[in-house]
Amino acid sequence: MLAELLVLFVVPALLAASAGWDLASYKIPNLLPVALIAFFAVFAVASGMTGIGSHLLAGGAGFAIGFALFAFGLIGGGDAKLFAAVTLWLGFSSLLEYALITSLMGGALALALISVRKLPMPAVFTGQSWLMRLHNSDSGIPYGVALAAAALFVLPHTDVFRLAAG
């Protein structure tokens, strides 16, 4: 029951919070990826998970990949940490699918923002600092949105989800 609660409610809520925070501030607080990692440990114990080593290695690989992308200035630090925390949950069996879907969703998000940024900001929204920042063409892309959306898309097809369903 606890494992199911974590996968169905807690993880999606943390992912949604990460996306929302990134969208509003271009930052993902450390608390969110740390919470995902901590709840994975709780999930592993509550579900009696076997093969945890594969998930730990996937999380390590996610950390290395995220750190490399951050070091090259391609993503933010919060994005790198979120990527690592999500890959811990998804494991190696879903890592490639997650990376591909994240790339597609990130590309779609970038294209949407580029298109919207070419339009003038409606006056009714000019008082919203987060919308002004999002509309500013000098701002980056809040990639945490794509990371979270892809995780929510992939999660129901993972061994973790099947294990939680019991």
What pLDDT digit, counting tens, does each position of 114-130 carry? 999 999 999 999 889 99
Write out the two tokens for 8: 């169905």
The label of the residue with tokens 């994005």 reads: 79
Identify the segments of the chain with pLDDT beneath 70: none
What distance in Å separates the CA atoms of residue 162 and residue 158, rounded to the nearest whole number?
6
pTM: 0.94
How many structural domains comprise the chain? Answer: 1
3-class SS letters over the chain: CHHHHHHHHHHHHHHHHHHHHHHHHCCCCCHHHHHHHHHHHHHHHHHCCCCHHHHHHHHHHHHHHHHHHHHCCCCCHHHHHHHHHHHHHHCHHHHHHHHHHHHHHHHHHHHHHHHHHCCCCCHHHCCCHHHHHHHCCCCCCCCHHHHHHHHHHHHHHCHHHHHHHC
Domain that holds residue 150: 2-165
